[in-house]
Amino acid sequence: MNNEILIKNGRVIDPANGIDKECDVLIVDDRISDVGKVEKPAQKVIDAAGKIVTPGLIDIHVHFREPGDEEEETIASGSAAAVAAGFTSVVCMPNTNPPIENETDVEYVHRKARQARKTHVYTMGAITKGREGVELAEMGFMAEAGAVGFTDDGCGVQDPAVMLRALKYADMFDVVIAQHCQDNAFAANGVMNSGYFSTILGLPGIDPLAEEAMLWRDIQLVKKTNVRYHAQHISTAGSVELIRAAKKDSLHITCEVTPHHLLLTEERCAEYDTNYKVNPPLRSAKDVDALKEAIAEGLIDALVTDHAPHLQSEKELEFLAAPFGIASLECALALFVEALIEPGILDWPGLIRLMTENPAKIIGVDKGTLSPGKQADVTIIDPKAEYEIDVNRFRSKSRNCPYHGWKVTGKVEKTIVGGEIRFEA
């Protein structure tokens, strides 16, 4: 007897197949079986009237801190948070302790994810050994073990010759090279955006130029190679201009944006609340506008959280000393609704595309659609549900979330991973 789930009467949005209509989705075992009017009975029927039914959401930028900082987050706790937020796939960043830099490390992440049995967990590997930006890490072995890309995220590869070598070498494998664009020479020891507020707060600034200089450099390197390049969490108007020009030149370049760079600006740091300390830093209103315009224009390929959990005791420090990072995985969907749907920048199919089809393509996995025969990763969303974000109810281990108390709209009702209901509100 097959295991069947029939999701009835939802608004099915599957951008990859151009579907946005009220219909049913039939899941048989771990596969999508049918999308349309399904009349036959099923073992389990979910009434999705008034709800949105989409391919499972995909977040290609999270930090689950395992191995090394399990007090902040584990693959198990992060995975539980992910499915509660509608994410059926996530990509962990390799800046763990020690970093993910060989096939054993990659397999370790996968094993922990299997044990957690919540969401699909992928990982990127480090570009360079120890993320030190000097010697290439074993990209081939890691790719064979299932790493979906490479990045030294947390910092950028500073040496242009090393970066060029990485891009060239990666061409042997069908992988994406992702970069946290930040030239440390410009960023110095900065802790927030450099500008009026860093001046009056007496805090060292990170100039937008730090991001733009490295992105510009990488674009020149990408022109000399043939590999897929992904600019992580871009945050400035200048970066948008660079991406626009690169896409006009038809380069293999994609990019992503976080909710905090769409919702928050640098003046949030004015009270030295370290929950607003994040890297890249919160920028100016002009930058936020440029990112939103870029999304409306279709220049931004994916929306990600950059979920970066930290202990309260680590964040309860002077602004200079506290670590960078915002934990926002569990409220991500509502934040994107707030930033993009409510002001009319995107409609629902537009938003879902940036959270399903596109990120799947960037990391090169066969996901992000509801095509029959594909693995049954499905998210059911109540687009009208209003709620108040409460960090104390997070499944994530960390509470470093500046959106606590925000009243938001758009809630995940059910998350189905590989044909199993892994989360129900």
- Which residues are identified as catalytic? 306
Residue 266's closest CA among 402, 406, 404, 388? 402
Q: Closest approach of Cβ 196 to another protein, in Å?
A: 4
Q: Least separation, in Å, of the C-beta of 306 and another protein?
A: 23
Residue 133 DSSP label: S
Query: Toward another protein, which CB reaches closer, 201 or 385?
Result: 201
Both tokens of residue 27? 């899941």
Interacting span for another protein (CB under 8 A) from 2-10, 214-222, 314-322, 374-382 = 314-322
Stretch that binds another protein, among 156-164, 203-211, 231-239, 327-335 (CB under 8 A): 203-211
* 311 sits near another protein (criterion: CB under 8 A): no
Q: How far apart are CA 394 and CA 379, in angstroms?
A: 19
Residue 188 touches another protein, criterion: CB under 8 A: yes
Closer of 56 and 208 to another protein (Cβ): 208
Q: Which of 196, 343, 405, 424 is close enough to bind another protein by CB under 8 A?
A: 196
The number of beta carbons lying within 10 Å of the beta carbon of residue 339 is: 25
CA distance 158 to 180: 10
Contacting range for another protein; rule: CB under 8 A; set: 63-71, 158-166, 316-324, 392-400:
316-324
Q: How far is it, in rounded angstroms, from Cα 109 to Cα 65?
A: 10
Q: Going residue by residue from 46 to 65, which x/- string records binding to another protein, judged by CB under 8 A?
A: --------------------
Tell me the closest approach of the beta carbon of residue 21 to another protein, in angstroms: 51
User: Starting at the edge strand that comes first in sequence, how are the strands of the sheet with 87-92 ordered?
Assistant: 57-62, 87-92, 120-123
Quick one: angle between helices 285-297 and 237-248, nearest 10?
30
- From 125, 133, 149, 205, residue interacting with another protein (rule: CB under 8 A): 205
Tell which one of 40, 316, 344, 373 touches another protein (CB under 8 A): 316
Nearest to 253 by CA among 208, 205, 218, 281: 218
Residue 201 as a binder of another protein (CB under 8 A): the answer is yes
* Shortest reach from residue 346's CB to another protein, in Å: 32
Closest distance to another protein from the beta carbon of 198 (Å): 6
Q: Which of 53, 51, 62, 60 is nearest to 12 (CA)?
A: 53
Which tokens sit at 260? 């905090």
Query: Given the complex with another protein, which of 56 and 205 has the nearer CB atom?
Result: 205
Stretch of 194-202, 220-228, 294-302, 390-398 contacting another protein, by CB under 8 A: 194-202
Which residue lies nearer to another protein by CB, 69 or 207?
Answer: 207
Q: Which of 95, 194, 225, 415 is in the footprint of another protein by CB under 8 A?
A: 194
Residue 274 has phi, psi (to 5 degrees) of: -70, -10
Q: Does 97 bind another protein (CB under 8 A)?
A: no
Contact letters (x/-) for another protein, 258-297, by CB under 8 A? -------------xx-------------------------
Residue 176 beta carbon to another protein: minimum distance, rounded to whole angstroms: 34
Q: What is the CA radius of gyration of the chain?
A: 21
Q: Of the two residues 10 and 402, which places its CB atom closer to another protein in the complex? A: 402
Question: Minimum CB separation from another protein for residue 285, in Å?
Answer: 14
State CA 13 to chain mean position distance: 20
Provide the residue type at 195 as one letter.
G
Please, are residues 280 and 237 in contact by the beta-carbon 8 Å criterion?
no
Number of C-alpha atoms within 13 angstroms, CB side, residue 277?
A: 22
> DSSP label at 326?
B
199 binds another protein, rule: CB under 8 A? yes
Token reading at 337: 């609704």
Asked if 203 interacts with another protein (CB under 8 A), we say yes
- Give Cβ neighbours of residue 105 (< 8 Å, ≥ 6 apart): 67, 94, 96, 98, 99, 125, 142
Among 245, 285, 317, 425, interactor with another protein by CB under 8 A = 317
Closest approach, Cβ 272 to another protein, in A, equals 3
Sign of CA dihedral 271, 274, 280, 282: negative
DSSP 195: S
φ and ψ at residue 288, rounded to 5 degrees: -60, -45
Name the residues that contact another protein, by CB under 8 A. 188, 194-196, 198-203, 205, 207, 271-272, 313, 316-321
